Amino acid sequence: MYCRCNLCGRLADWLVLFYDSVEDKKYATTRCDECRDKPEPQLDNKVPYNNISLWYGSWAFPEYRVDSLDSPIRLTYAEVRARLSPDVIFLS
């Protein structure tokens, strides 16, 4: 699947992480360049604490990027999930 920004629907270039200190929970969502630093309405407008570049290739993060031309330009949920701790909650 292609990742879309959860605010505007454009192609996302970032995985943005939020932390709720009251509930002690981490949340992740995808964002485009324009929306990357905006607060998250689903979390009462909490501000992001970490931005991770998304690479469109066979792996989600740069150290696993495959530069082959025949590598599909897509990012799977499983690849992202494999790189984050299991306590991260994904927002739609």
Read off the pLDDT of residues 6-62 as tens digits, 9 standing for 90 and up: 999 998 888 899 999 889 999 999 899 999 999 999 999 999 998 887 766 555 565
d(CA 21, CA 54): 25
| Contact criterion met (CB below 8 Å) for 25 and 18 | no
Q: How many angstroms separate the Cα of 2 from the Cα of each of 21, 44, 64?
A: 30, 27, 18
Residue 73 predicted with pLDDT over 70: no
Residue 72 predicted with pLDDT over 50: no
Query: pTM above 0.85?
Result: no
